Structure 1
Amino acid sequence: KPSGGHITPSPGVGMESQCPSSYGRRFGPATPMQRVLPGSPPARLRAPRLGSGRMDFSLATALNSEFREMRTSERVEMMELNDRFASYIEKVRLLEQRNKALALELNQERDREPSRLGDVYQEQLRELRRHVEQLGTAKARLEIERDNLAQDLGSLQQKLQDEVTLRLEAESNLAAYRQDVDNATLARLDLERRMGTLQDEIAFLRKVHEEELRELQEQLSRQRVHVEVDASKPDLAAALRHIRGQYEAVAASNAQETEQWYKSKFADLTDAAAWQTEALRAAKQEASEYRRQLQALTCDLQALRGANESLERQLRELEERYALETAGYQDTVARLEEDTQSLKEEMARHLQDYQDLLNVKLALDMEIATYRKLLEGEESRITIPVQSFSSLQVRETSLDTKSVSEAHVKRSIVVKTVETRDGEV
């Protein structure tokens, strides 16, 4: 894996097409006899010797032309590689500048924004929690007051129900007392009527008795007849007197008994009427007292109902305001969490861009290192001097293999892994 370190291009590597002319500057114009073609087959580079020690110049000319063509193609290829290398270096420079700018911006955001926003959010959350706790305490206090008022209202309603029951009992007793008074009044009127009838009857009987006595006396006075009777026969006058005495005694006794009975009954009725009147007065007074207490309890009940309704209305208003404030606080918390999440996502995106740019830079550094090794290998291959034209031997060169192998030299690479979890590094 590519490391996070920067690989600085070597100053010896040319930015333009400098490698093809380095050999000429140091050793003069290159001739076909002074160069060894890398990777050429042995049969093409083996110069046949003549028996007299002379070279076949026609073959040398062919080799020279072919070598020139190869050098021309190599020069063009090197120029293209140099152009690509220069563009890569420019791109790497731009990416490094952008990488530094992003790293600086990321460090600034990491040092400044999260801590400040976190403190602001935490302060707001603490304030909201304190406000919610205060509202909860106020709600609990109002609920306790409501429960106490509900208990007081229940006790007053029970007391009112008891008073209503007592009032109904008093009214029932009053109705019964009124019925008794009416019955006593009717009985008194009946007794008075009967007493009047008896008095009339007594007066009539007296008149009849007096009339009978008067008639008897008149008869006795008119006849003046002396009747002689035997001793064994009773005297009529004595018998009449005796009957009269008995009748008067019975009449007097009946009149006395009737008068006494009337007086006793009248006294009883008077006492009963007085007792009923007193009971009625007490019942009326008790009923008025109950009525007054009922009115007072009704007023208290109305006041308590008004207070209960007011408290319930205040409780509903507090609950509605608490619900609205809670919803607002929840919206604020959700919005702050969304902002925090967006900032975390933006930081993660910046980190991902930074990681991508770092990967691109490392890939470019590896490619630049590969091109550097290729260029160094080409330069070392070109600068190998030839001993002499006569000692030209076909040699197997391993410069390409060496260049390729050097391009794959093992390096100790430090892998820097940047992980992001919930927007935090």
Structure 2
Amino acid sequence: MSSSSVASGLSPYGGSTASAIRDAREREKKEMSDLNDKLASYIEKVRFLEAQNRKLEADLKMLQGRAGKDTSSIKIIYETELTTAKKVVSDTGRDKEGLERELRKLQEELNEIRKKFEEATRGRADDRLKIDELLVKLSNLEAEINLLKRRIALLEEEITRLKKENMRLQSELQRCKTELDQETLNRIDYQNQVTTLLEEIDFIKRVHDQEIKELQALAARDTTNENREYFKNELANAIRDIRNEYDQMMNANRNDLESWYKMRVQEIQTTSARQNMEQGYAKDEMKRLKTQLTDLRGKLADLEGRNAMLEKQIQELNYQLEDDQRSYEAALNDKDAQIRKLREECQALMVELQMLLDTKQTLDAEIAIYRKMLEGEGNGPGLRQLVEQVVRTTGINEVADTETMRVVKGETSSRVSYTRSAKGNVSIHETSPEGKFIILENTHRSKEEPIGDWKLKRKIDGKREIVYTFPHDFVLRSGKSVKIFARGSGPHMPPESLVFDHDDSFGVGANVQTILYNKEGEERATHIQRSSQTAS
């Protein structure tokens, strides 16, 4: 791992990925702006078609009053409307193909981003492996440092022991020196004693010589040769015995003194040599231990510096990994939000396309009916039946407009879409986004609708379901509406307003479906509300 990547806080791959994600987001924002423009144009087309539909309804009412007059002008009008509707359908088909191409393109970009994210995830796994390896190395270094610390402690203990041993040896050496001095004094004393003994021997020898001379003088005064010879032999024997005795005594004392002196000198020399050897060994061991301690302290300082550097690298790698993970997760969340948004918009476009197709089918049915009328199959009761059939067909396939609202505040954009449909005269005109009320409307101008025991079911995000049942004898007048309030949200004033006593709200969610069922359980009207929030 290079020091530059660690110092920057972001790996080169993470930087390139972040720049690619930013470019993709800018491109997608531009594409979303284009899609919003296209959606606005589609809404304008839908409103134009609704206006055309209302115009056709007015023309139909006019035809009901005229009963088959001016059929040639009507044929021209409907042929023109048919041509326009076909053109709109073909344009819508082309726009749908373009949107599908855009969707495929966005899907490919999403796949590329997912690949990049997978590569980043693999890089993150590799980084984690490297971090694990560094942690293992760090633990090994820490174990080695602890071992060195223990060895240093043992060496310090050994040094302390050697110091104590050195002090003991020095005290022993001092004691030996004292003993050597004492032995030297003893040797001098013994030498003095030997000298004294030698002097005594010389003195005794002189005394004996003097006695011998005196004896010889006495012997010389004896005139007898035998006596002289006898005394002379006795004197010689005595002198020889005395001399031999003194020689033996002197030799014995000399040998004893010399042997004792040699033994003490050898003992002192041996003790001194041993002490000198032990002291030299202790000095060498002290030098070796001091050198080893210095080396170990240097190694310990190097290992501590390396340990601090590795800990710093691990901390920086953890920070970098967390930053990369947050950036990748944020980018993935943005992409998922954009994909959900595009899917919702595509779904809304599909709904609008379905509305256009339903409108086309209605126009085709009306054109077929008017063609039959123009071909002269009859008027009067047969024409009224055909007109009623057109009215029923239009009522069944009626789809309310889809309203798209975008609110931008800070960095958050909110989009809410509504889809309404009705099979008959009673439709769900409006629902409160906060779940406070629901408004039903009778679109027929002259016919009342008995909706007693009908049920309003409201499904919130496919999980929660709220059901409201109308009173048994409730009738919705023609051209009027009724507002059903949640508990505590409005007054109970039939037939203009009713109150749902079982709940304080009709529910709030991202996907809310409100469905009206008759007594037989048939679906008569629907209102679908979808909302989404994305970070821009």
Q: TM-score, normalised by structure 1?
A: 0.51
Distance 1:297 1:257 in 2: 59
Q: Encode CA deviations 1:232-259: one digit per residue, 9 max, x unaligned.
A: xxxxxxxxxx9xx999998996786456
Is contact 2:152–2:293 with CA below 8 Å preserved after alignment? yes
Say if 1:173 and 1:100 are closer, same or farther in 2 by CA, change over 3 A. Answer: farther
Q: Encode CA deviations 1:348-405: one digit per residue, 9 max, x unaligned.
A: 33334444x35973896599589969989x99355xxxxxxxxxxxxxxxx3898289
Is contact 2:201–2:246 with CA below 8 Å preserved after alignment? no
Aligned counterparts, 1:24-173, within 5 A: 104-113=94-103, 114-150=106-142, 152-153=144-145, 156-157=148-149, 159-160=151-152, 163-173=155-165
- In the alignment, what sits opposite 1:174? 166
Say if 1:204 and 1:117 are closer, same or farther in 2 by CA, change over 3 A. Answer: same
Say if 1:409 and 1:307 are closer, same or farther in 2 by CA, change over 3 A. Answer: closer
- In the alignment, what sits opposite 1:266? 265
Q: Which amino acid aligns with 1:181?
A: L
Aligned counterparts, 1:305-316, within 5 A: 305-316=304-315
Say if 1:408 and 1:15 are closer, same or farther in 2 by CA, change over 3 A. Answer: closer
Distance 1:23 1:192 in 2: 163
Distance 1:167 1:287 in 2: 7
What displacement does 1:117 show? Answer: 2.8
- In the alignment, what sits opposite 2:526? none
Q: Encode CA deviations 1:136-181: one digit per residue, 9 max, x unaligned.
A: 3433443444355445545545554554454444444333322321
Q: Which amino acid aligns with 1:380?
A: G
- In the alignment, what sits opposite 1:296? 295
What displacement does 1:277 show? Answer: 0.5
Say if 1:381 and 1:274 are closer, same or farther in 2 by CA, change over 3 A. Answer: closer
What displacement does 1:278 show? Answer: 1.6
Is contact 1:177–1:280 with CA below 8 Å preserved after alignment? yes
Q: Is 1:283 aligned to residue 282 of structure 2? A: yes
Distance 2:391 2:95 in 1: 36
- In the alignment, what sits opposite 1:380? 378
2:336 aligned counterpart, secondary structure: helix
Is contact 1:19–1:379 with CA below 8 Å preserved after alignment? no
Is contact 1:146–1:308 with CA below 8 Å preserved after alignment? yes
Distance 2:275 2:155 in 1: 24
Q: Which amino acid aligns with 1:333?
A: L
- In the alignment, what sits opposite 1:407? 389
Q: Which amino acid aligns with 1:131?
A: G
What displacement does 1:310 show? Answer: 2.4
Q: 1:361 aligns with which of 351, 359, 362?
A: 359
Distance 1:263 1:25 in 2: 165
Say if 1:330 and 1:405 are closer, same or farther in 2 by CA, change over 3 A. Answer: closer
Distance 1:405 1:15 in 2: 8
What displacement does 1:407 show? Answer: 3.0
Is contact 1:102–1:350 with CA below 8 Å preserved after alignment? no
Distance 2:163 2:70 in 1: 141
Distance 1:183 1:168 in 2: 22
CA RMSD of aligned residues (A): 5.9
Say if 1:20 and 1:175 are closer, same or farther in 2 by CA, change over 3 A. Answer: closer
Say if 1:401 and 1:280 are closer, same or farther in 2 by CA, change over 3 A. Answer: same
Figure out how many residues of one structure are paired with residues of the other and give that number. Answer: 309
Distance 2:162 2:356 in 1: 102
Say if 1:94 and 1:198 are closer, same or farther in 2 by CA, change over 3 A. Answer: farther
Distance 1:23 1:248 in 2: 186
- In the alignment, what sits opposite 1:229? none
Say if 1:208 and 1:95 are closer, same or farther in 2 by CA, change over 3 A. Answer: farther
Is contact 2:366–2:390 with CA below 8 Å preserved after alignment? no
Is contact 1:170–1:283 with CA below 8 Å preserved after alignment? yes
- In the alignment, what sits opposite 2:178? 186
2:378 aligned counterpart, secondary structure: helix
Q: Which amino acid aligns with 1:302?
A: A
Q: Encode CA deviations 1:214-246: one digit per residue, 9 max, x unaligned.
A: 9xxxxxxxxxxxxxxxxxxxxxxxxxxx9xx99
Is contact 1:139–1:315 with CA below 8 Å preserved after alignment? yes
Q: TM-score, normalised by structure 2?
A: 0.42
Say if 1:96 and 1:133 are closer, same or farther in 2 by CA, change over 3 A. Answer: farther
Distance 2:159 2:180 in 1: 30
Q: Which shows bigger deviation, 333-342 or 143-152? A: 143-152
Is contact 2:173–2:275 with CA below 8 Å preserved after alignment? yes
Distance 1:108 1:24 in 2: 44
What displacement does 1:261 show? Answer: 3.1
What displacement does 1:112 show? Answer: 2.0
Q: Encode CA deviations 1:249-300: one digit per residue, 9 max, x unaligned.
A: 9899678645643442232112101111022112212221232233233323
Aligned counterparts, 1:319-338, within 5 A: 319-338=318-337
> By percentage of residues, which structure has more helix?
1
Distance 1:185 1:199 in 2: 20
Distance 1:93 1:15 in 2: 19
Is contact 1:374–1:407 with CA below 8 Å preserved after alignment? no
Distance 1:405 1:290 in 2: 117
Q: Which amino acid aligns with 1:361?
A: T
- In the alignment, what sits opposite 1:40? none
Q: Which amino acid aligns with 2:180?
A: R
Q: Which amino acid aligns with 1:120?
A: E
Distance 2:140 2:392 in 1: 86
- In the alignment, what sits opposite 1:32? none
2:331 aligned counterpart, secondary structure: helix
Structure 2: stretches of 5+ with no match in the other structure: 1-52, 207-240, 398-461, 463-510, 512-529, 531-536
Distance 2:202 2:140 in 1: 90
- In the alignment, what sits opposite 2:343? 344
Distance 2:183 2:69 in 1: 171
